[in-house]
Structure 1
Amino acid sequence: MCDGLRKLGDIYNCIEELICTPGNQVSLCQKLQRKLVEEELGRSLVLLDLCNTMQESFIELRMSVRELTLAIKRGEDASVQVKAYIRLTKKAHKQFKKVSKKTTSDKIDCRVVKLLAEAREITISLLESVRYMYIARLRLKSTSCLLSKRIATPKRSLVSKKSKVMCEEEQLQELELTFKDLESGVELLFRRLIQSRVSLLNTLSS
């Protein structure tokens, strides 16, 4: 998914180069094409909102995972942190569904705008796939279950307890790194979207 986000950023970079060619700039400013460009500019706001929502969600989720890791290291009951994490995943899920509603477009003849529309649909599809990363909360539910079992069986050997805690910490650190990578990928995509949007606006105002 991270690789897909980076490749999408490269696609938008290529589209921006097409936008900036003299021939396409003249074509995009023609009356019919201009209308299509303006409509696509409006739809691009949906992508920016989606990326912004995803970035904020990943930041919150990383912080939540970090707090959970610290609780496990201290040997505390981490059920509160687990519940907080699950609430964040549900919140992010609802935000994504709310923002991604209006994304359809009519038949497009302009080559550059058609490329933008296709890239937009791919972007929404990929971001929706990224959303399924939130299913990782199931792993944290399992962690919660393991914690409760450890607390309920005080006779378990110290070595066994330490090994289990280390395993849980490694899983959480891996999850935190995954969120960080996805956050970086979405941030890169966001910047590329802004750049292509600015190029289109500059073309229309030239």
Structure 2
Amino acid sequence: MASFHARSNSLPSRQHPISSQIDETLNRLRSSQSASTSSSVGQKLNGLQDLHEYVEMLLQLPQSQQALSHEQQRKSVEQLLDGSLMLLDICSTAKDALLQTKECTQELQSILRRRRGVEGLTSEVRKYLTSRKVVKKTICKALKNLKNMENKHNKDGENGDVISILRQVEAVTVDVLESLLSFISGPEAESKLSRWSKLMHQKRVTSAEDEINNEIANAEATLRSFIKSENTKNVENVQNELQNSEECIQDLEQGIESLYRRLIKARVNVLNIVNC
């Protein structure tokens, strides 16, 4: 009877097309380079959306539903559901951070277009930078929560059953969200995180090239430079950097919103399975 339970919790064929697609996407996301640019973060978000689309197909398989509804898997399923709530909360944090930064960016752009000198602009720029500090503080807390989830995954084994597959998907989702949050926060996030996690710092060493390719960080750095110089010649450069930042944010917003919807759908599917 014990051997029957062991088989019932596994996919009948590990070579099922959906399982193969999940394996391939997982490996691609794991092996991809550190997401330190808007392009690389966007690619990871797109890959993650594909992964969760395959998970949705996986959950439609009778053998997957049988495994998740089995009483012996109740605790593991509850842990996955708890994890999904955490991921949804982190996604909400990322969405709020992007929205707040975008709104401040748009407001500052509007002010810059209306004014012809630098008089009075310093106070407006400081408001933007203050808002960014609040965003970074919130992101730092979210990164710590993700790190706790990551530590939990390091203790999980991989035995090929549907529960293990879902845990691997969760672990990769955590990694991509870490990259996204670190990108939104900018290079400064790394120095703060190093105080509580040396491993996190080693995983995402930010170079000068990384900073150049981070449109949000570029805009912030340009604004800090503007405050120091208050040179009217810098206004055009500030406007350009803010425009680049806004476009970057809009792209990331689309990606995180799509992921958020897929996470909700996956959670609902699992709840429907276990409650049947």
**TM-score bracket for the superposition, by shorter chain length:** 0.7 to 0.9
TM-score, scaled to structure 1: 0.83
The residue aligned with 1:89 is 132
Instruction: Tell me the residue number matched to 1:45.
Output: 85
1:29 aligned to 69, 77, 83, which one?
69
> How much does 1:85 deviate?
2.6
Q: Distance in 1 between matches of 2:230 and 2:132?
A: 26
Confirm or deny: 8 A CA contact 1:53 1:92 kept in the other structure: no
- TM-superposed CA distance for 1:129, in Å, is 1.7
Q: Deviations over 1:10-45 (max 9, x none)?
A: 101101111111111112111222321111101111
8 A Cα contact 2:219 2:238, kept in partner: no
* Residue 110 of structure 1, CA deviation: 6.2
- Taking structure 2 as the reference length, the TM-score comes to 0.64
1:126 paired with 2:159, answer no
Alignment partner of 1:107 out of 153, 156, 164: 156
Distance in 1 (alpha carbons) for counterparts of 2:110 and 2:135:
23
1:187 is aligned to: 257
Q: Which amino acid aligns with 1:143?
A: L
What is aligned with 2:6?
A: none
For structure 2, which runs of at least 5 residues remain unmatched after alignment? Answer: 1-40, 187-215
State the Cα distance separating 1:168 from its structure 2 match: 2.3
Output the CA distance in 2 between the equivalents of 1:126 and 1:82. Answer: 31
Measure, in 2, the Cα distance between the counterparts of 1:34 and 1:120: 17
Listed as ranges, the matches of 1:156-171 within 5 Å are 161=233, 164-171=234-241
Q: State the shift of 1:150 in Å.
A: 4.8
Q: Say which of 218, 222, 226 aligns to 1:142.
A: 222
- AA partner of residue 29 (structure 1): S
Q: Deviations over 1:130-189 (max 9, x none)?
A: 2233323454343343365355x8xxxxxxx4xx43332121111011111111111111
Gapped regions of structure 1 (runs ≥ 5): 154-160
Contact residue 82 and residue 141 of structure 1 kept, 8 A: no
Indicate if the aligned counterparts of 1:57 and 1:88 stay in contact, CA closer than 8 A: no
Q: Report percent identity of matched pairs.
A: 28
Please give the per-residue CA displacement for 1:61-116, whole angstroms capped at 9, x wherever unaligned: 00111122122222344323332333333323332333452412453546222222
Secondary structure, counterpart of 1:20 in structure 2? coil
Q: What amino acid does structure 1 have at the position aligned with 2:223?
A: T
Q: Aligned residue for 2:21?
A: none
